[in-house]
Amino acid sequence: MTSLVDVARAAGVAVATASRVLSGSDHPVSAKTRAKVVAAAEKLDYSPSALARAMVSPNSRLMGVLVSDIVNPYFSVIARGVDDVATRAGYVTMLSNVDRSTATEISRLQAMRDYRAAGVIFAGSGYVDDPHRPGLLKAVRQAREQGILAVSLADRDLGCPTITVDHHAAAHDITDHLVALGHRRITFIEGPSGMTVTRQRREGFLARMRDAGLGGGARCVPGGFDYEAGHTATLRLIARRPLPDAVLAANDEVAVGALGALRQAGIDVPGEISVAGINDLRVAQHVGLTTVSLPLYEMGSLAARHIIESAPGAATDGAATTTLSHRLVPRETTARRPPER
Amino acid sequence: MTSLVDVARAAGVAVATASRVLSGSDHPVSAKTRAKVVAAAEKLDYSPSALARAMVSPNSRLMGVLVSDIVNPYFSVIARGVDDVATRAGYVTMLSNVDRSTATEISRLQAMRDYRAAGVIFAGSGYVDDPHRPGLLKAVRQAREQGILAVSLADRDLGCPTITVDHHAAAHDITDHLVALGHRRITFIEGPSGMTVTRQRREGFLARMRDAGLGGGARCVPGGFDYEAGHTATLRLIARRPLPDAVLAANDEVAVGALGALRQAGIDVPGEISVAGINDLRVAQHVGLTTVSLPLYEMGSLAARHIIESAPGAATDGAATTTLSHRLVPRETTARRPPER
DNA sequence: TTGTACGCGTTATCAT
DNA sequence: ATGATAACGCGTACAA
């Protein structure tokens, strides 16, 4: 392990000088000396210890991101956004999966705090009536007091900046699309029970239905966030006909699961029934699913940018909320309601 | 920022004692003293600096993983395997996307080296005739000399342990399945050009076809690794009929893309044509795609385990290769070839 | 059982 | 323009 001392010795200069050259300081150093140092560093295969650097500087250049499950494309897109700007800024991204467990979230936050991360991004949604919430709040506050910027990507009231999307409005808008197509009886396949985002999307759906005077035609059934959930829920729907005019799924994967069940049963989409999702991930594009596009990548990159820009000791914006806009993406799984049924 | 000194002072003990208690050392400490230290640490909200720890200990407990693109499920599953065992062992995972660029791979390896990662896992495949290969080799060697364990998840001859799967055999076996079903003219939609894994899978396909005396019925067309590639390639196939008996895709996403194109064209799968993929990711399961299951999660977790176990100064196993087994998963997109066409 | 003191690799301050 | 040195927070050898 060759250190700055070794380089300095090999170059015949003081460590301070070597440091000035190798750390890109603006302190003046003669061209000749500079060359000697660079040559020595090269020859000795010097690798500056980011650890030692982080200890002495106020900024570790470590970017933390907490996701529920990186295998879930919703989160991998966010993580990609984070890592892209982190890398560009010379940071390294630390990733942890927390499996929707607030307790795990707290413990991984601690781990990242131990490494003095410049910031930690909470990508996941919170829970309604979460018993661990006070503990999380405390952990976030303590991290902040230590200079670690937290950013939430969902409405969680964590006492930190929030960069999110209006899930209620997203569900509202896609429901509106369905209603505008003439659908009256619409079934919403919900997300995992207890999650805040599940409730927000459900309420958005119900609000639009009520406003359209279609409250009676609105139905909500339990689901989840994966193919399986959409498939199962839809099978149940098919079993107890009549079918609704349309199905709105909690997210794209659920919608694709629903699509599969419907087609296997020989039910034409969108001929007999319309199907829509939320998120607009790659799979939605592929199957031509009508959905709402959420700026997931931007949420990740913006959060990272925020952390980098407020890096050392800038004024914390308290807990400002930035809401990014979503966009309706009509595709081939929704169509005007057939005049007769 | 409260440090060990603060805790020691608050507890009325020496820093060494506080360290012994808080770092879980096996050095004896009286129960009474221990309690005082723990209480002080608690009260002061002490967070041990993993940075300082890493500087003084031979192990940073930082686990590095380099993927092409975390949004690609192939890699997110691997990353999940890595993070799960890393977390269990008290490590934190550092993730970097390298976009299939060897140059980026080198630069991210350097970044992780600067943080003194205990090890770095190369999840991606290499390239045939890669001009950057010498540079990568050198970087890996230097990292190893510094005590950083590298592990490759593909045959790349990086001079480090390799934990992989036999892509040639995987393609061979799925081709065999197709042949056994009576298919004679089979088209292989290749992966991205230039990648080692692309070549391995193609050769595995061709080998089985030749051995079956079906070399004349084997055709390879350019593709990629995403839906789009499968869709486009299949559209071309459809345009210049006659259709082959079966299509083997470089991976599941390509196969699903092919499936979509075929069904849109009103071609029955597997009635008129069989379709198969490779990888067995979630989407394959969902659409009932016949494929080969690759132990991606295990590759990630094994690689991480290897790094953790050889952590401080254990004997490096040089460049041993561990090949994990794959498994044919017949599902509904392949069927016996219809007697007449 | 507890305490003292050094070193890990940097950067920054203060001379020179 | 360059050099000496004090931190940063921790673990540990050595002393008591």
> Who wins on pLDDT, B337 or A160?
A160
Å between A110 CA and C2 C1'?
Answer: 30
Task: Identify whether residues B279 and B175 lie together within a single domain.
Answer: yes
> What digits encode the pLDDT tens for the residues B182-202?
999 999 999 999 999 999 999
What is the average pLDDT across B271-289?
Answer: 97
Q: What is the DSSP string of B237-260?
A: HHHTPSPPSEEEESSHHHHHHHHH
- pLDDT value of position A96: 98
Task: Identify whether residues A138 and A201 lie together within a single domain.
Answer: no
Instruction: Report the alpha-carbon distance of residue A221 to residue A199 in Å, rounded.
Output: 12
What is the average pLDDT across A149-171?
Answer: 97
Q: What is the DSSP string of A88-150?
A: HTT-EEEEEE-TT-HHHHHHHHHHHHHTT-SEEEE-S--BTT-TTHHHHHHHHHHHHHTT-EE
- Judged against a pLDDT cut of 50, whether residue B34 lies above it is answered with yes
B105 within domain boundaries: yes
CA dihedral in degrees (B129, B133, B134, B137; nearest 10)?
-140
Q: Do B112 and A92 touch (CB under 8 A)?
A: yes
- pLDDT value of position B161: 97
A126 within domain boundaries: yes
Band of pLDDT at residue A313, cut at 50, 70 and 90: very low
- pLDDT value of position B146: 95
Task: Identify whether residues A130 and A192 lie together within a single domain.
Answer: no
- Cβ-nearest to A80 among B71, B282, B287: B71
B335 within domain boundaries: no
Å between B59 CA and D15 C1'?
Answer: 28
Å between A5 CA and C14 C1'?
Answer: 20
Band of pLDDT at residue B341, cut at 50, 70 and 90: very low
Task: Identify whether residues B65 and B115 lie together within a single domain.
Answer: yes
B27 touches strand C (CB under 7 A): yes
Which residue range(s) make up the domain with A283?
167-294
Coil, strand or helix at A287: helix
Q: Which long-range contacts (CB under 8 A, 24 or more apart) does B8-15 make?
A: B8/B37, B8/B40, B10/B40, B10/B43, B10/B44, B11/B36, B11/B37, B11/B39, B11/B40, B11/B41, B12/B36, B13/B37
Contact between residue B4 and residue B19 where contact means Cβ atoms under 8 Å apart:
yes
Instruction: Report the alpha-carbon distance of residue B1 to residue A143 in Å, rounded.
Output: 10
Kindly state the percentage of chain B with pLDDT values over 70: 97
Number of domains chain A contains = 3
> What digits encode the pLDDT tens for the residues A175-230?
999 999 999 999 999 999 999 999 999 999 999 999 999 999 999 999 999 999 99
Return residues 228-257 of A near B (CB < 8 Å).
228, 231, 256-257
Task: Identify whether residues A89 and A151 lie together within a single domain.
Answer: yes
What is the average pLDDT across A97-119?
Answer: 98
What is the average pLDDT across B292-316?
Answer: 88
- Judged against a pLDDT cut of 80, whether residue A316 lies above it is answered with no
User: What angle do the packed helices A252-264 and A227-239 form, to 10 degrees?
Assistant: 40
| Encoded amino acid at A338, one letter | P
For residue A95, which of B162, A78, A103, A85 has the smallest C-alpha distance? A78
Q: Looking at A294, A311, A336, which one is the last position of a domain? A: A294
Task: Identify whether residues A12 and A126 lie together within a single domain.
Answer: no
Task: Identify whether residues B42 and B139 lie together within a single domain.
Answer: no
* Peptide linkage before A330 cis (omega within 30 of 0): no
Band of pLDDT at residue B159, cut at 50, 70 and 90: very high
- Judged against a pLDDT cut of 70, whether residue A104 lies above it is answered with yes
For chain A, the first-to-last Cα distance in angstroms comes to 76
Task: Identify whether residues A191 and A42 lie together within a single domain.
Answer: no
- pLDDT value of position A70: 98
Q: Which nucleotides of D are covered by protein (CB under 7 A)?
A: 1-13
Give the CATH number of the domain where residue B17 resides: 1.10.260.40
Could you give phi then psi for residue B67, rounded to 5 degrees? Answer: -120, 160
pTM over 0.75: yes
- Judged against a pLDDT cut of 70, whether residue A116 lies above it is answered with yes
- Judged against a pLDDT cut of 80, whether residue B239 lies above it is answered with yes
Contact between residue B4 and residue B15 where contact means Cβ atoms under 8 Å apart:
yes
| Encoded amino acid at B96, one letter | S
Mutate to test the interface with B, among A104, A107, A114 (most CBs of B within 10 A): A114
- pLDDT value of position B97: 99
Task: Identify whether residues B192 and B268 lie together within a single domain.
Answer: yes
Q: Are strands B246-249 and B186-189 parallel, antiparallel or unpaired?
A: parallel
Band of pLDDT at residue A317, cut at 50, 70 and 90: low
- pLDDT value of position A327: 98
- pLDDT value of position A126: 96
A91 within domain boundaries: yes
Task: Identify whether residues A73 and A26 lie together within a single domain.
Answer: no
- Judged against a pLDDT cut of 70, whether residue B219 lies above it is answered with yes
Q: Where are the alpha helices (DSSP H) in chain A?
A: 4-11, 15-22, 31-43, 50-56, 73-88, 102-114, 133-145, 167-180, 196-211, 227-239, 252-264, 282-287, 296-309
- Cβ-nearest to A50 among B73, B114, B283: B114
Coil, strand or helix at B262: helix
Handedness of CA A193, A199, A205, A208 (dihedral sign): positive
For residue A66, which of A29, A104, A13 has the smallest C-alpha distance? A104
A5 touches strand C (CB under 7 A): yes
B219 to chain A, any CB pair closer than 8 A? The answer is no
For residue A98, which of B207, B153, B129, B92 has the smallest C-alpha distance? B92
A335 within domain boundaries: no
- Judged against a pLDDT cut of 80, whether residue A44 lies above it is answered with yes
Structure tokens at B268: 């029955």
Structure tokens at A160: 């930190």
Matching residue, tokens 């319309």:
A274
Task: Identify whether residues A95 and A120 lie together within a single domain.
Answer: yes
Q: Nucleic chain C: which protein residues 52-111 of A have CB below 7 A from it?
A: 52-53, 55-57
A203 within domain boundaries: yes
- Judged against a pLDDT cut of 50, whether residue B313 lies above it is answered with no
Average pLDDT of chain B is: 96
Give the CATH number of the domain where residue B200 resides: 3.40.50.2300
- pLDDT value of position B337: 85
B337 within domain boundaries: no
With vertex at residue A193, the alpha carbon angle to CA A282 and CA A81, rounded to the nearest 5 degrees, is 35
Coil, strand or helix at B83: helix
Band of pLDDT at residue A341, cut at 50, 70 and 90: very low
Which region, left, alpha or beta, applies to residue A161 given φ > 0 means left and ψ of -120 to 50 means alpha? beta
- Judged against a pLDDT cut of 50, whether residue B264 lies above it is answered with yes
Task: Identify whether residues A175 and A288 lie together within a single domain.
Answer: yes
- pLDDT value of position B139: 98
Band of pLDDT at residue B311, cut at 50, 70 and 90: confident
